[in-house]
Structure 1
Amino acid sequence: MRHIPFFFVIISMALVACSGQNRNKSLDTPPEWASQQIWYQIFVERFCNGDTNNDPIPEDITSTTQIFPVPDNWSITPWTQDWWKQEPWALETGRPFNETLQHRRYGGDLQGVLNKLDYLQELGITAIYFNPLNDAPSLHKYDARYYYHMDIHFGPDPEGDKKIIAEEIPEDASTWQWTSADTLFLYLVKQCHQRGIKVIVDYSWNHTGTEFWAW
């Protein structure tokens, strides 16, 4: 099955959510349906590590814009660690906290969100706003490598997803394929909708990262 660009999926979701609304309204005001929701924002990398088998590895979080390379002894940060405490690998660099913090990862993923859907539903939320989910080396994902794929470490098979992406021609959409992270995201959206929870995803279309395929 060929991959449908994710922005088409997102646009379709938005159109469904806005069905019945006055589409001639000014873009300066939010659509009526959005103002009636109880929103919950999720920064996936920091939310919940539902699958430790897909935790990031140094080569996948490396970017040419980083102040210093990811150390060889780098590792995932425990969820219960004090925020201001530097990890052993961070201390060995001799660099200050604000620099080593950029390499910190907790391993949050889409499975973690799925695991918490019942909890979120119990809170009474009706919509989730996701920070960027597109594939990117950073923790915040605003430096896209590929807009049309979910981050490989948000899905269950990062290595398999890398192989799929390597076989594609980025500028030729007919070569795009679904990765495991992509299909898990679609499943997550379905599960949200079954609970009456709407989904919005943040995309930074006006800028990319230096690892973007077209650079």
Structure 2
Amino acid sequence: MNHRIVLDELNRDLSASRAKVEGWAQTKINAADKLREQHLTSVKDLKCKIVTLQNNKAKREQEVEELKQRLQHESEEEEQVKAQLRAAEEESDALPKEIHDIKTALDRETAELQRQESALADKESLREGKLRSLRQALDLYRARLGLQFRKDHTDELLLIFTHIDPSSHLREFMLGVHVHADNTYSITRCEPALEGLDPMLGELNSSNNFSQFVRQLRKRFQQLIVRPAS
């Protein structure tokens, strides 16, 4: 009986000890699993950091290469700028003479332009004076010869005669005259047409006697009218 009691106590002690050992072992296993998970996480983080570092290294190497190329380019550009500066300094030494030559040529061209403008103004003034004289004679011609001046185009005067046709005093006989830049005349139109006007025009350009030309022209128009027989 006593032996049985002792055996039961031993079994209980053994079970208790086994439970403690199993608990301790499970604790160690759990701790080991946790350490393993932490290790795996650390390894994963380290791998990511390694990849990041490698990428950063490649990026830095590329930046260093680009910097080297930029420095090389800037160095070449600096040499070009220095060369251009030297050329500009050499050109600046020659500028005073070139400026003097340009100013001399400009003064010469300005003087020639002023001379041409003055000559043109003199011609224009002379031509305007001739046209003004023609217009001043308008009233006299209109009163005595039945003549009107009408300006249709630039520098063109139309000489319009009336009181030529006895059957129609208001019938118009017209001649167009153009004054050229060299102060000569030309005929632009004639209605009705007259033959043999070239000699009259040549005499006008030679003598510049416009009044005589007008009187001759009126006579020529009168000769066109067929008067009834008496």
Q: TM-score, normalised by structure 2?
A: 0.19
Radius of gyration: which is bigger? 2
Q: TM-score, normalised by structure 1?
A: 0.20
